């Protein structure tokens, strides 16, 4: 169980570090409780089947690695939302400048 407990602690540390780094505040307890629930479920599977313990432990460390590299959907969703908002901003600026160019294009100075 040492490997699984270490993976759980690293997962908690990743979430805490990311939240403090991004918004300068500690994460809400629900975020940490969700991670604890995930690793508790993995621990139950590891206890139920002794032969599955190495696979479950490897999965737990893989989840930590994915969280560290921001491969999980939450990190991906944030990138998608940022791209969509910058795209919308660029389209809004293009429409604002495009209308003025068409009206003045036919007149000579």
Q: What is the mean pLDDT of residues 4-22?
A: 91
33 neighbors 22 (Cβ within 8 angstroms)? no
Instruction: Quote the pLDDT of residue 10.
Output: 94
Instruction: Quote the pLDDT of residue 71.
Output: 56
Instruction: Quote the pLDDT of residue 90.
Output: 82
Q: Give the tens place of pLDDT for each residue, 58-107.
A: 999 999 998 888 755 555 556 667 777 888 888 877 666 655 555 555 55
What's the Cα-to-Cα distance from 35 to each of 5, 13, 39, 87, rounded to whole Å?
A: 12, 11, 6, 33
Instruction: Quote the pLDDT of residue 85.
Output: 81
Tell me which long-range contacts 83-87 makes (C-beta under 8 A, separation of at least 24): none
Residue bearing the bigger pLDDT, 70 or 6 = 6
For the chain, what are the domain ranges?
Answer: 1-73
Q: Residues near 61 by Cβ (< 8 Å), separated by ≥ 6?
A: 3, 7
Instruction: Quote the pLDDT of residue 94.
Output: 65
The token pair at 30 is 């629900």
Instruction: Quote the pLDDT of residue 68.
Output: 86
Residue bearing the bigger pLDDT, 107 or 6 = 6
């Amino acid at each position: 169980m040492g490997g699984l407990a270490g993976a759980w602690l690293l997962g908690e540390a990743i979430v805490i570090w990311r939240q403090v780094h991004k918004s300068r505040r500690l994460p809400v307890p629900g975020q940490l409780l969700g991670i604890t629930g995930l690793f508790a479920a993995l621990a139950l599977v590891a206890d139920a089947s002794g032969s599955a313990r190495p696979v479950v432990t490897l999965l737990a460390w893989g989840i930590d690695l994915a969280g560290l590299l921001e491969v999980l959907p939450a990190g991906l969703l944030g990138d998608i939302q940022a791209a969509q908002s910058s795209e919308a901003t660029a389209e809004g600026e293009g429409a604002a400048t495009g209308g003025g160019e068409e009206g003045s294009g036919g007149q000579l100075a």
